[in-house]
A and B are shown apart, each in its own frame.
Chain A
């Protein structure tokens, strides 16, 4: 080292090319390389976790979107005794279909082809697809057609390679008849006892309604709170207390919000149990602090020069806030909202506490009707004994992930739209 404190206090000229210096340079480069390597390793690790999750989920769940089918030949003219196509077109079509007794026709045809026990090979509610086919294309009642109906759950599971010994035997006898088709019903049906008939639409609709209510309450309340706290509130101990409270609220475990919902919304206000409204309110309570915190930070980040410029030409405080601060803070606020909503979408515990765990066979048509949400549905299906529900659970998870991605993509698009470059 060039340490030479002479009596006069002068420094000796630094030798930048000495061995010491070279060593320092090498050490510095080495530590930079190490740091970069660590960073890369961290990214690779997180990416592989994500990839692992996706691969496992998709691997398990894709099969939930397919169903094993068996062909059934239906001789409509013989069965219906000469019904004509135009009976089932127009407004009376559905009513006429009812009286036709499609279920018995289908069961009879199955008996003919597969024998007395044939019904057991098929899923109980399969005949409904025939009804919808007739409504779509009434001409088939005048012909002999082959329809593919979903097989019974055990056979379906066995065909996909996971079944019991008996089922496997059944599959090998029917082998040449079994086909795999896409399970469209999964997307349009609601909960059911038969795993071949379940769908996620009911839960999805419930999620949509609940999310909508959550957003409609949390976003305005959160944004206005943030604006007030940053722009209007005097800086004293009281507002400090509020700030600390909100920060803590964001960290409270979600199940406590469930308890709160139970106590206040259900017991005190007497709102209907298991309704989307209650779920939305509870989740709004949970999401609001996140929006307030990110909103405040976004507002704080707006440069004071913009505010001064607006004040300087005679804008009132409100005009400054709504014409200048809010548009510039909006990207940050939206980011906070996305984070909050994504968390709310995946919440199960608080909703279980307020009772959104019932068996909902029909999708809710309003906000006070009993409903359930996707995460709760997944939870419930994962509890089922029937093997057929395993893949349905994974399939539902895939739907949840797609929903989440779509929501985020929409929000990011909106945020980019509002982002003004300055």
Chain B
């Protein structure tokens, strides 16, 4: 059900909603960029770029706060109903989730100085690909929000499976590496954390997709099958 067509009789309501949508698009864009920059900094061991990511996270936090304020105000003053209400609640939750995505990107950037420049990514060579997929998930989930596209949201939630699979694979190879190269455990541990962050980013993108689905349909997204549970691997 698309929210287009007639406008509200009180035009200021539309103005507020459009402003909010704009801000959500902005915070999504910034988080995406943060992920991309952090990964590039990791690959190139670019310490300046990494520091930039950490610094720019402040903007993301500020933006989230502004979105919260405007959402509160709109709910209080406009008494929204039905799909307007669902959209505002979704906006509120999504901004928090996207802010956390930004935090994960910052976390990745923080680990860049710790990982030695001489080493390639080694066992975690799949990390760039994983981050691409995760990035795409974030982009697509916000695209679904902008278009109120429940089908795209559903698709995003299913594609998260790919990120999870990446994580499982990287996890395995890093653990193996750790066993074989005990002196590099420190760095390897950081690589694990980075992989985990990306996996969490994928999950958060799924959260956004679930919010989008609810806002558009008025019902929660149906449960999906989860893939292999990484914790099962330890028993091997």
Question: A–B direct touch, CB within 8 Å, in complex?
Answer: no
Interface residues of A (CB under 8 A from B): none
Interface residues of B (CB under 8 A from A): none
